[in-house]
């Protein structure tokens, strides 16, 4: 497989880089980005999304009839990587999970209502899959959706957890159980406005200092018009979206930035009067991290290669996400070891080496192992679908 970019693709990367350097407000950019760090909503972030939309960079691979350009999917990937390296907000759930699923499976009314708002960068979505008893096993979700034929819709009661964007999103993309007698074939997807009076949102703070949420449903009525696709087919749609999300949500850019920062430190730092670059342990550790970074790039490109050819990269995306999670933890662990006791100083403290970014990263990489499917789930997918091993 040829992983080199074509001239027009390199020109697009250069165009995005110029935009980020010249036209973006500094407060939008995170100088020490992590993979999943997208949990804050500000007017500047919303304005940035509109800037991307004005340049035609949202939904580039969508069909033209829905506002897209039908460009190869590689351009969506290139945009995400450029933004992630700069610590800029990324298009996220609306363009990917919600938009692409609506294009494939949504009714015409949902397409006409939501797709124009998504591609103009005007709307934010929260994703509701996980529950107290349905985290890694998301197909076990028990949020009840009971048919109300008199009103022409469904009534939802129950709870979701780990809904990261619930406190600022405009709409909720929710999976609920519409058939208690089935597991995978008994789930349906719904779209619900986040200001629905039956929703209650409570914050949960992660080890990475970011907010996620519990969401409680109390007789939340959803009209039939806001059912996504066919009733009871929601699990199929969720799996399709997750396969694509696992590599879209884990760009290599933030990992590259962290490895580059550690390499730059090793080149110039001194310990007890001696350059640390002469220490065999430092040299060996840094060389291993740089090598593993290249492995991560190649695993990602395998996923992209399959996706842009129209496939669903189920096993490849699980391999990539699992490896990226472990590599991110390795980099944070190695940095804590190499930088010494001062590396435990918190992010932003004046005396913290490299601004304390690796103390933050040490905590944040734990969060990465959960979003988009835990590492344990990725191992199960690789074992069963990739290696053909039997279920336990």
Q: Which residues of 57-82 are buried (b: 16+ CB within 10 A; e: fewer)?
A: bbbbbbeeebbbeebbebbbbbbbbb
CA–CA distance from 3 to each of 292, 302, 312 (Å)?
Answer: 17, 9, 19
Name which of 128, 372, 136 is nearest 243 in CA terms: 372
DSSP state string for 89-151: ---TTIIIIIHHHHHHH--HHHHHHHHHHHHTT---EEEE--BTTBSSSGGG---EEEEETTT
Given its phi and psi angles, is residue 245 left (phi above 0), alpha (psi -120 to 50 degrees) or beta? alpha
Consecutive H or E run containing 316 = helix 314-339
245 is catalytic: yes
CA angle 377, 253, 297 (to 5 degrees): 65
The beta-strand segments (E) located in 224-367 are 227-228, 270-271, 274-275
CA distance 247 to 37: 15
CA–CA distance from 275 to each of 129, 278, 287, 338 (Å)?
Answer: 50, 6, 16, 13
Q: Beta strands 125-128 and 171-177: pairing type?
A: parallel
| Cβ contact 276:266 at 8 Å | yes
CA angle 15, 19, 20 (to 5 degrees): 120
Catalytic residue among 210, 245, 306, 359: 245
| Cβ contact 186:233 at 8 Å | no
| Cβ contact 296:320 at 8 Å | yes
Name which of 28, 20, 90, 82 is nearest 257 in CA terms: 82
DSSP state of 345: S
Taking residue 137's Cβ as centre, other Cβ atoms within 10 Å add up to: 15
Q: Which residues are catalytic?
A: 245
């Amino acid at each position: 497989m040829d992983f080199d970019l074509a001239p027009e693709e390199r020109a697009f990367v250069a165009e995005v880089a110029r935009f980020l350097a010249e036209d973006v407000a500094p407060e939008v950019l995170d100088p020490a980005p992590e993979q999943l760090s997208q949990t804050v909503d500000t007017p500047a972030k919303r304005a940035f999304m509109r800037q991307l939309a004005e340049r035609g960079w949202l939904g580039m691979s969508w069909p033209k009839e829905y506002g897209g350009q039908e460009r190869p999917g590689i351009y969506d990937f290139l945009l995400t990587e450029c933004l992630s390296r700069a610590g800029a907000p990324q298009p996220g759930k609306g363009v990917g999970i919600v938009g692409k699923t609506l294009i494939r499976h949504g009714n015409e009314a949902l397409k006409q209502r939501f797709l124009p708002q998504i591609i103009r960068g005007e709307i934010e979505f929260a994703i509701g899959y996980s529950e107290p008893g349905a985290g890694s096993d998301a197909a076990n979700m028990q949020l009840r959706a009971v048919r109300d034929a008199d009103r022409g819709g469904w009534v939802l009661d129950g709870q979701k957890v780990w809904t990261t964007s619930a406190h600022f999103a405009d709409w909720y993309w929710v999976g609920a159980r519409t058939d208690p007698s089935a597991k995978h074939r008994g789930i349906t997807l719904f779209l619900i406005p986040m200001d629905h009076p039956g929703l209650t949102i409570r914050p949960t703070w992660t080890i990475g200092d970011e907010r996620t949420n519990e969401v409680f449903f109390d007789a939340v009525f959803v009209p039939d018009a806001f059912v996504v696709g066919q009733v009871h087919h929601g699990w199929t749609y969720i799996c399709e979206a997750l396969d694509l999300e696992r590599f879209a949500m884990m760009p290599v850019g933030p990992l590259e930035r962290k490895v580059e920062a550690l390499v730059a430190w090793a080149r110039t730092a001194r310990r007890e009067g001696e350059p640390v670059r002469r220490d065999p342990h430092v040299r060996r550790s840094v060389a291993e991290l740089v090598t593993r970074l290249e492995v991560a790039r190649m695993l990602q490109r395998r996923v992209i290669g399959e996706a842009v050819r129209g496939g669903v990269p189920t096993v490849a995306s699980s391999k990539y996400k699992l490896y990226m999670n472990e590599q991110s933890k390795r980099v944070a662990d190695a940095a804590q070891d190499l930088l010494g006791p001062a590396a435990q100083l918190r992010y932003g403290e004046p005396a913290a080496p490299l601004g304390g970014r690796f103390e933050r990263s040490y905590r944040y990489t734990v969060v990465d192992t959960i979003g988009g499917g835990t590492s344990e789930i990725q191992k199960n997918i690789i074992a069963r679908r990739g290696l053909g091993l039997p279920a336990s």
